[in-house]
Structure 1
Amino acid sequence: MKTDKSKFLEPRNHITFKCDVCLHVWDSEPEEVVSDENLAHPYRYFATCPSCRSHSQQIPWQRGLFSSYVKSTGPKTLEGKAASAANLDGHPTPEEALRTRFNALKHGAAAKQALYFPAKPGKYDACETCDIDFDYCSQQVACMRKTELFMRHLIAIESHDPKMLREHQAMQQANFASLMDDMLISVINKGVVLETPAFSFDKDGGFHLAQYTDSETGKKTTIMDTKANPLLKHIFDLMSKNNLTLADLGMTQKVREENEIQMGRLQQEGKDKQSLADFQNKQHELLDSLREKIVNSQNALSQDEILLEHKKANGDG
């Protein structure tokens, strides 16, 4: 039996609107209904925004939802429904379960993230640059952006795959670089040395500036305390802990010399490099010359007159 979809083609009385000016979202009855035959649900709904009094229209996701009701397809008979259910046998597979195990976190049905970062529009520092509508955010269980960050770390740690955090780490390094640049600019503008007036408090709690009077001019001069800019320490700490020093970047003379040693050979400019084949050939030449020298030495020894006379005298000859 064919499903009657005529009810989905009738105008609705309860509509969700969104103002394009102030981005306010609210539910109410439409003030104006306009026919539009190009839509599956052939009506457009309009109302006046209660916040800024602008002429607003139906929120897009609900318009698509109404159209999907009209276009919805699926099995209608018992045999068709049974065949559709049979298609689900064996699902989810282990791979599908691995990919979809955090879906509940994403839509907030069982968000552990809500324990730490509940949805509080405008209360977090990141809310100032967030592009999510505050009215929509207030209806969620957890902060969408922080839930996404939570899920990235949870998946990376459970799957032992640090590649999941590469994008986040890259953005974090960019933020570190921007923060360091701001600190350096502040130090350059204000100087590496900061001067503040010296002061003290008496026993009654009175405040006194440290001043002295010039004996020649009679002018009072405030004594200044000189201190190094406190940002310098934080800059050096950030550079060392983030491996941004010259040694870490391989730009010192010592590191360059150590890097020249590769595969047991010194890669030095200005010196001849000797290959293994040349070294072996030279060794063979030296051994051949040594053998010739030994033979010559034995021949010279056998022809030595003094040695021959000595052997004859001792009966060895």
Structure 2
Amino acid sequence: MKSLMEWFFTSLGTVVVIYYGVKLFLFSRMLLPKRWFPLPKSFFLSMGEWAVVTGASEGIGRQYAFALAEHGMNVVIMSRTKVNLDKVAREISETTHRMVKVVVADFTKDNIFTDIEEQLKYLDIGVLVNNVGMVPSTVPRRFLEEEDLDQIIMSVINCNVKTMVKMCKIILPGMENRRKGVILNIASGVASIPFPMYSLYAASKIFVERFSQGLQAEYKDKGVIIQAVAPFGVSTRMVGYQQINAFMLSPRDFVRSSLQYIRAGDKTYGSICHMFLGWLLLCIPLKILHTEAVFQGLQNYVERQQAEKRCSSVIRDA
């Protein structure tokens, strides 16, 4: 009996050591993406002639469009404001000398995808970046505190969920037929846990993550890479252009980092610092995170940041 117990605990200990050893090895690879997940210089152009980026008039989407053009691809940039898109198109064309096609679309609306499909029909699309997204309010609020809640629900679902699914429906068949292509679906680090005060937004982004992972399992044998990218802080309009620091990255730095992880799996945080934030968030018990004190502290912090931003803006204008 004693020898049986010794064998059991020895075997259990060996399994635990191997399990965590493998996890540590996989984690360590993320620290050196260029070594473990190298991409040939011609990787993106080898996927196809064109890249499509939604929500490309500013922020992360704009930087993805620039980065893919710098890798030699022509780009289709999509958003709802033509003036901003035209400006970005000129900048990309003048900087990279690549072709840029502008498609104006308000992704919060219904019945826009027939026209989009028609405009993309004859393009050899190798990369799709589903970046467009919206948050109901930059200031954290309880679900029922949002004004015009019915409209917000429809807009968030259309923009964050429906658009990604429909764009995959439009572009994925061509990638499957050619047996190559890359789809990057931009999720969010806050969706790593149930995230109160941003409940609707976080829930929409966990859909992005799960849909992407399921789709990758279905199509990885077809030569298509489908990945959810889940950043935390990136200084864009969505977070009130917060000050850039070690964890609040600029859109340019985040995009450059995230493109190094394309071969790293069906989900990445896109950067080392955001990977650590994701690990830390998962380590904190939900009983601590889901307390009134944390809710109020989060709300006060965001409101204070926005007030400081407005104050500094007034000082500069004066």
- Tell me which interval the TM-score lies in, with the shorter structure as reference length: under 0.3
Going by fraction, where is helix more abundant, 1 or 2?
2
Higher relative contact order (CA closer than 8 Å, sequence separation 6+): 2
- The structure having more radius of gyration, on CA atoms, is 1
- Given the two structures, how large is their TM-score scaled by the length of structure 2? 0.17
